[in-house]
Amino acid sequence: MSNELSGRILFVLSLVFGGTIAILAWSGSGATGAVAFVGGLALGGLWAVRGAFSRRDSSSAN
């Protein structure tokens, strides 16, 4: 998977996650905090992995 494609996928996932949290908060759900915590950790981890691999790929190209 290319860096550009993975970035686009993670961007869309981040938007969907943000929308999900907004809907949960708007509806007054008690699960908002738990979903935000778990989803934030998962998305943050995916962005970190993408960043680590994109740096490695760009440095090995030089």
What DSSP line would sit under 1-62, residue for residue? --HHHHHHHHHHHHHHHHHHHHHHHHHT-TTHHHHHHHHHHHHHHHHHHHHHHHHHHHHHT-
pLDDT for the residue numbered 53: 84
Q: Is the pLDDT of residue 59 over 90?
A: no
Banded model confidence at residue 45, pLDDT cuts 50, 70, 90: very high
In this prediction, residues 13-20 reach a mean pLDDT of 96
Residue 27, pLDDT above cutoff 60: yes
Which residue did the predictor score with more confidence, 22 or 61?
Answer: 22
